[in-house]
């Protein structure tokens, strides 16, 4: 655990007692603060109280009077679509509002670091899609290379739940827009922006607010090295803002759409080959085609980002390539769960938005596509144009019929339930087909999480194959 610095002897509000909130309360207590906790869920409050934490309704009059700060869990809105009443009360009272990510950056460095030969580093990864795979891939390559490394944030452990830094440690953080938007302290050594596509627009008041939340990691964080995917205009703009000149190699530009040239530092992937260029000449490469854990152009983009991070940390291209080769991929992200009778079954339940689903659809051929769920803002028009590899769509969700209609000319069948969709797809599948779960929608109309949705799909497939 990372004891929180700067609040010893002070009372600090903690709003939301899920994984990050409860860990923040423990870390505050370890640093000498008194956490004052609240959650709307009575069972969650009882669990925190059983640990000995003070439970106080933070929305009652006077609750903010003696608080030094209010720490907010990432799922709680602080501005859009409307502020949580407790957060607004804190703002009215002049109480600073912050989160666990900020507490981590303000507490990770200690006096013990004076005795280290190699200073610890923090790598922070954000973007719309690919954050988890990129973060896990960086962590995996570092492990394979024998480096001390920890993985935390939106993946793995909570940021305050990791171990104190060791000599030469590298902490890899996956950070969502919910986390970067509110953090008052953001000081990574290396920051990564994978890509941007419409998501969480209600939470950020539109696309501009969403981009602004991501941009804070770079504009306010001031990383020593910024690694930016420039295949969208926002990334191109961000790279331009951070560069002093075309030769400024503090910014590494990434692409999976075109070859990058120029006097700076670039990493790009074309036709399955990753290339690194510096000062106009190639200095490294990796053949990504045989790597089963990184299928498709979207995973090649993740590989480019991970490669660039590992190069900034001093790893050689061959070492990085060897790490890539042993990477097995993450659950629910283009995860091959079975192969039988010439049919491949792929779980990409994490494809919760249109852009992520499009990338999954481009990675496979002859697709029996299971899609649908709680539709997000932005519509589905782009899906129809990207569905050339789809043989048939099998639509699930409470609004399956409406979702299917929005797919335009894509052949579709309304199934509603995962059970029916899997059964129909397996009945129809032929040698050479891929049965792909890539919902292009959130899971909450039928499942508690995208993980539960992916687990259900995998379980149904495995059961059917055993019959």
Residue numbers in the known binding site are 127-133
Q: Each residue of 42-51: b (16+ CB within 10 Å) or e? A: eebbeebeee
What's the CA gap between 51 and 415, in Å, rounded?
46
313 contacts 138 by C-beta, under 8 angstroms:
no
Taking alpha carbons only, the member of 59, 60, 87 closest to residue 72 is 87
Distance of alpha carbon 2 from its chain centroid, rounded? 22
Taking alpha carbons only, the member of 14, 62, 12 closest to residue 38 is 14
| Pairing relationship of beta strands 335-340 and 343-347 according to DSSP bridges | antiparallel
- DSSP letter at 166 equals P
Annotated binding site for ATP: which residue ranges?
Answer: 127-133
Taking alpha carbons only, the member of 293, 370, 290 closest to residue 330 is 293
What's the CA gap between 74 and 467, in Å, rounded?
43
156 contacts 140 by C-beta, under 8 angstroms:
no
278 contacts 290 by C-beta, under 8 angstroms:
no
């Amino acid at each position: 655990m990372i004891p929180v610095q700067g609040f010893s002897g002070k009372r600090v509000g903690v709003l939301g007692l899920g994984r990050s909130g409860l860990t923040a309360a423990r870390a505050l207590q370890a640093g000498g603060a008194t956490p004052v906790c609240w959650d709307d869920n009575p069972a969650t409050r009882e669990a925190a109280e059983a640990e000995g934490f003070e439970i106080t309704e933070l929305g009652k009059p006077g609750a903010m009077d003696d608080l030094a700060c209010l720490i907010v869990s990432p799922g709680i809105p602080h501005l859009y679509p409307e502020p949580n009443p407790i957060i607004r009360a804190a703002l009215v009272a002049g109480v600073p509002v912050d989160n666990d990510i900020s507490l981590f950056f303000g507490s990770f460095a200690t006096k013990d670091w004076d005795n280290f030969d190699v200073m610890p580093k923090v790598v922070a990864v954000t973007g719309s899609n690919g954050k988890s795979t990129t973060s896990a891939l960086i962590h995996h390559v570092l492990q394979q290379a024998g480096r001390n490394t920890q993985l935390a944030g939106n993946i793995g452990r909570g940021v305050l739940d990791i171990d104190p830094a060791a000599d030469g440690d590298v902490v890899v953080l996956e950070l969502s827009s919910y986390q970067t938007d509110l953090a008052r302290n953001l000081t990574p050594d290396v920051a990564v922006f994978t890509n941007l596509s419409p998501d969480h627009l209600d939470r950020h008041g539109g696309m501009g607010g969403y981009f602004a939340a991501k941009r804070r990691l770079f504009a306010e964080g001031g990383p020593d090295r910024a690694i930016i995917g420039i295949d969208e205009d926002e990334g191109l703009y961000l790279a331009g803002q951070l560069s002093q000149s075309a030769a400024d190699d503090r910014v590494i530009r990434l692409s999976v759409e075109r070859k990058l040239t120029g006097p700076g530092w670039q990493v790009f992937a074309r036709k399955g080959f990753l290339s690194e260029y510096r000062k106009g000449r190639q200095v490294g490469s990796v053949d990504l085609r045989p790597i089963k854990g990184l299928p498709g152009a979207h995973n090649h983009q993740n590989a480019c980002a991970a490669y660039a991070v590992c190069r900034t940390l001093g790893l050689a291209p061959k070492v990085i390539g060897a790490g890539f080769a042993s990477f097995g991929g993450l659950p629910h992200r283009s995860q091959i769960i079975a192969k039988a009778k010439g049919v491949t079954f792929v779980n990409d339940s994490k494809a919760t938005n249109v852009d992520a689903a499009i990338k999954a659809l481009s990675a496979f051929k002859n697709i029996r596509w299971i899609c649908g769920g709680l539709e997000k803002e932005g519509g589905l028009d782009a899906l129809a144009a990207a569905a050339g590899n789809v043989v048939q769509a099998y639509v699930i969700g409470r609004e399956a019929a409406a979702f299917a209609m929005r797919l335009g000319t894509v052949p579709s069948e309304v199934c509603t339930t995962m059970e029916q969709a899997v059964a129909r797809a397996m009945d129809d599948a032929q040698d050479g087909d891929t049965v792909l779960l890539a919902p292009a929608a959130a899971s909450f109309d039928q499942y508690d999480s995208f993980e539960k949705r992916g687990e259900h799909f995998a379980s149904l497939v495995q059961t059917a194959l055993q019959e």
